[in-house]
Amino acid sequence: MAQLASLASLAGTGLAVYGQVRQGQQQRATARAQEENLRAQQAAQTDQVTMQSAVQERERQDRLARTIASARARLAAGGVAPDEGSAAALTAGLRRDATQDAAGDAAVTAARLAAGRRSLLATDGSLNSFLRAGQTLGGAVRSLLD
C-alpha cells in the first residue's frame, strides 16, 4: 500500500510538472504573439513619424521658397540687386535658419522613434515555469525519500 502511495505521488508530481511546462509553453506563445504585435505597432508608428517628418520638410521647403521669392521681389522692386550684398546675405540667412530648423526637427523625430523602443530587460517569464517545475519535482523526490 505504501508503494501505491509513492507511485501515486510520483504520478501526481509528473502531471504537475507536465502542467507547468505546458503553461510555460503557452506563456511563451503568448509572449511571442505580443512581441509580434508590438513590432507591428512600432513599424506603423515609425512609418507615421517618417511621413509626418516628410510632410513637414516639404512644407518648410515651400515656405522657405515663398519667403525667399517674396524678399527677392521686394528687394528688386526697391532697386536692389537680389543676388548681391545684403540681399544675398538675407537669403543665405533664411536658408541657414531653415537648415537649423530641419536639423532640430530631425533630432525630435529621432528621439520620438527611440522612445518607442521596448526595453531589452523586459522579462517574458519563460524561465519561471521551469523553476517551478523543478521545485515541484524536488518536493516529490523529498517526499519519496521521507
By CB atoms closer than 10 A (0-12, 13-18, 19+), residue 75 is buried
C-alpha cell at 37: 504585435
pTM flag (> 0.85): no
- pLDDT tens digit at each of 146 positions of the chain: 566 677 777 778 888 888 888 888 899 899 899 989 888 888 887 788 788 888 888 998 898 889 888 888 888 888 888 778 877 888 888 889 888 888 888 887 777 777 765 444 444 455 555 566 667 767 766 666 66
C-alpha cell at 87: 540681399
By CB atoms closer than 10 A (0-12, 13-18, 19+), residue 20 is buried
Contact yes or no for 113/51 (Cβ under 8 A) = no
